Amino acid sequence: MNLTGKVAVVTGGAGGIGEAIVNALKGAGARVACLDLRQGNGNINLICDIGSDDSVIAACALAEAELGMPDILIHCAATTFKGAVLDTPIADFERIMNINVYGALRLTNAFVDRMKARKSGSILYISSINARFATPGQGVYAASKAALDSVVKTLAVELADDGIRINTVQPSSVATPLLVEGFNALPNRDEAIAINKARHPLNRWGEPEEVAKLALFLVSEDAAWITGAHYALDGGASVTRR
């Protein structure tokens, strides 16, 4: 995969999956702006709250001034709330939607007019397997990812004439610090991990680098005929009941 000369912006690029994506993009020759609440490993790293209009506008302007107009946008930042749907305070529902969904749209809006003028652009949002299934204990997170997938279907059609492609990937359990910490907090940690792994026919968690490989393909010219798609990346978890 050769992305030499391309510019990418990655939100949540300092996280487990985000950092793997940033590294993969850089490895393919792209110059990468990492937007996150913490320091990342991009060519430039901007502290940015993707939940804030002002913060995103300022960070995107700085990214463009430093690296040039982006060709690739990837929204990887996300947050969650652990609890039953009806126990989730509305303020938390709003916070999750604001970061997971509106954050993606803020990033896209910062550059889409000029992508349209150029008649090219490649956009990827990181969704989740939970977008497609009941997710007791994290139903509001799941709803935000379902919203992301839905919006991408419509955007794919709305932006197609402008030469802009947009897709999502839907990982299941990926071995990031976030996932591991979640299990570490459980009293039956080892059993819960074994049960979770067994829900994947390939009987293991995914690695961040495996998400990055698919992300790299989808934002590259090799995926020039792919738009509006949601790619499962889940060791087979979504094709069977286990």
Ligand X SMILES: NC(=O)c1ccc[n+]([C@@H]2O[C@H](COP(=O)([O-])OP(=O)(O)OC[C@H]3O[C@@H](n4cnc5c(N)ncnc54)[C@H](O)[C@@H]3O)[C@@H](O)[C@H]2O)c1
Binding site for ligand X (CB under 6 A): 11-12, 14-18, 36-38, 48-51, 76-79, 99, 126, 128, 171, 173-174, 176-179
- Residues 73 and 162: their CA atoms lie apart, in Å, by 16
Half-sphere exposure of 163 (CA within 13 A, CB side): 12
When the beta carbons of 162 and 180 are compared against ligand X, the nearer one is: 180
User: Least CB distance from residue 128 to ligand X, whole Å?
Assistant: 4
Calpha distance 42→31 (Å, rounded): 8
* Angle value at C-alpha 50, between 170 and 2, nearest 5 degrees: 55
**39 vs 120 by CB, closer to ligand X:** 39
Contacts of 178 (CB under 8 A, 6+ apart): 15, 16
Give the residue with the Cβ less far from ligand X, 36 or 149. Answer: 36
Q: Which two tokens stand for residue 23?
A: 């590294």
Kind of pairing between the strands at 121-126 and 44-47: unpaired
Q: What is the DSSP letter of 157?
A: H
Closest approach of Cβ 36 to ligand X, in Å? Answer: 4
Task: Name which of 38 and 119 has its Cβ closer to ligand X.
Answer: 38
- Smallest separation, CB 167 to ligand X (Å): 14
Q: Residue 241 is encoded by which pair of tokens?
A: 């009941």
Residue nearest to ligand X (CB): 15
> In this complex, which beta carbon is closest to ligand X, that of residue 85 or of residue 175?
175
Active site residue 125: no
Q: How far apart are CA 175 and CA 80, in angstroms?
A: 17
Q: Name the active-site residue from 102, 125, 141, 231.
A: 141
**Gap between the Cα atoms of 145 and 126, Å rounded:** 8
CA distances, 223 to each of 12, 45, 150, 166 (Å): 23, 27, 20, 11
> From the CB of 4, what's the least distance to ligand X, in Å?
26
Q: Which residues are catalytic?
A: 141
